[in-house]
Each structure stands twice: as structure tokens, then as C-alpha cells.
Amino acid sequence: MTRPFLKMNGLGNDFIVVEARGDSGPFRPDTAMVRALANRETGIGCDQLIAVEPSVDGDAFMRIWNADGDEVAACGNATRCVGWLLLKASGRDSVLIDTLAGQLKATSSDLDRVTVDMGAPRLGWAQIPLSEEMDTRGIELQVGPIDAPVLHTPGCVNMGNPHVIFFVSDIATAPVTEVGPMIERHMLFPEGVNVGFAQILAADRIRFRVWERGVGVTRACGTGACAALVAAHRRGLTERKATIVMDGGELEIDWRAEDGHVLMTGDVAVEYTGRLP
């Protein structure tokens, strides 16, 4: 029996979303299957593979695999996509989605745009995690010569997954593909890290690109956008609310002062339906 799927994307960050509730039964692909499905030449192609599973406390549990086959705890844009599905199916204006990173709430007053409460960012060095104690507003890491580094003193934020954010003067010349894979597996990050590059355009606007852990360059990254805003505000570079401009489009990020939660709002798109080979 083949299994139906939806191909969805959040600002070009694309996913294969598989139903794993009810009659569909559990879906637990091995690493080889995830890589085969994610392959853009010979498979369906995606940044992440998502399974929507039953949940005891929420409306569904979302399981996430990166394109390299590794299971990960969080994906912001995928949460918006799954939230859209659950909101549309239930007819309600809010749903709860369980993940390995915790329970997230998705809401919408307009089903073309979904808001996810990503919870509070984790900012301690051991929460990122880093391999040694450092101030995560600007860690001791640089790229290039000691006396003239190309990049240096990035901020670190965990939004359910680890992010390091380099601040650059021109995103067009940022060495995303050169530095990204080098920092992703740097010994300072025992669980690996998503590598972001942020250019501050204004106090309420950030241009952002990212090398995603286990994926590579993606057109958008929801948790990365959240991390960029948090890292920028902690450095006094922006307000607590800003538009994050990525290759695939824009997200509105709001780091609320009242409870410390980060809200992420953006568009969702369904590309097509199919059945897994």
C-alpha cells in the first residue's frame, strides 16, 4: 500500500508532509529512505521530511527529518505548514502541535498566514549547546586571519535547534556556502549548528540567509529567522519586532517582552499532492 503525502513550503523552505495517524499507521523511515525521498534529482525533493503523528496532549505530533536523514527537534516553517493543515481540518483558530522541542501553538485569522508561538529562546551556553562556557551574545569564534578576520563574534540562540548568527555588512557577499559547512560541524557545537548570516537594514528589518544543519542553503528558515531577531536585539541592533527578509520571502518575528516568547508569522503554500513511491 502506498502512502499519500503533501508537498508544501513556507517561503520556499519545502517539505514532504506525510500522514501517520489513523488508518495510515506509523511512518518511521530509515536514513536511506529519507535521503532518497529528499533527493531533488531522483526523489521527490525537500529540505525536510515531516510525519504528522497522533498526540496525547496536542492536536498532533510533528516528527522532523533533515534531508541528510537525521531526525531533528524543530523546524519553524514546517510548524506553520502543519499548523495550517490542522487549522483547516479542524475549522478552529488555534491548534497545539507537539514536537521533540516542546509543544507549540499555531493560530490564524487568515489561513493564508499562520502564526506560531515558538516559545522562549534558550540563551545559556549549555542550552545552545556549546562545548565550553561563553557569553552567547557574542562567542569567541572567528573565520579568517587572526589579525583581520572575515567573520567574528557571532551570537548564539537555541530555538528548539541550535543557531549561530554572524552579522555582516553586505549579505550579497556573505560567504554562506563557504563558511556554512565549515561552522556547521565545528567542535564548538557538539550537536552541530545552523549557520546564519544577518545584515541589519533598519531597527525593524533584517536581511537573512542561512546554511541549515543537515540540509545546506535553504530559501528560508523559520527558527533561523527567530534566532536572527533575538541575536540582533540582544546586541542592541534592532527592536524586539522586525521583518526578516530571506531569499524565499518575509517573516514577521516578535520577541514579546511580556512573556519572552517569540512569535513567527508568515505565508504557507501547498504545491501538490502525491503518493510515496
Phi first, then psi: give them for residue 67, nearest 5 degrees.
-60, -25
**Does residue 75 carry a catalytic annotation?**
yes
Nearest to 212 by CA among 18, 67, 104, 63: 67
Look up residue 125 and give its amino acid: W
Look up residue 194 and give its three cell numbers.
Answer: 545552523
**Does residue 46 carry a catalytic annotation?**
no
Q: How many Å from the N-terminal Cα to the C-terminal Cα in the chain?
A: 10
Look up residue 21 and give its amino acid: R
Are 50 and 60 contacting, i.e. CB atoms less than 8 angstroms apart? no
**What burial class does residue 70 get, using C-beta atoms within 10 Å of its C-beta: 0-12 exposed, 13-18 middle, 19+ buried?**
middle
**What burial class does residue 33 get, using C-beta atoms within 10 Å of its C-beta: 0-12 exposed, 13-18 middle, 19+ buried?**
middle
Phi-psi category of residue 120: left, alpha or beta, with phi > 0 → left and psi -120 to 50 → alpha: beta
- Residue 184 to residue 212: CA distance in whole angstroms: 8
Are 144 and 208 contacting, i.e. CB atoms less than 8 angstroms apart? no
Phi first, then psi: give them for residue 180, nearest 5 degrees.
-50, -55
Of 46, 81, 156, 221, which residue is the catalytic one? 221
* H or E, element range at 199: strand 194-202
Of 46, 75, 81, 156, which residue is the catalytic one? 75
Cite the active site residues. Answer: 75, 221
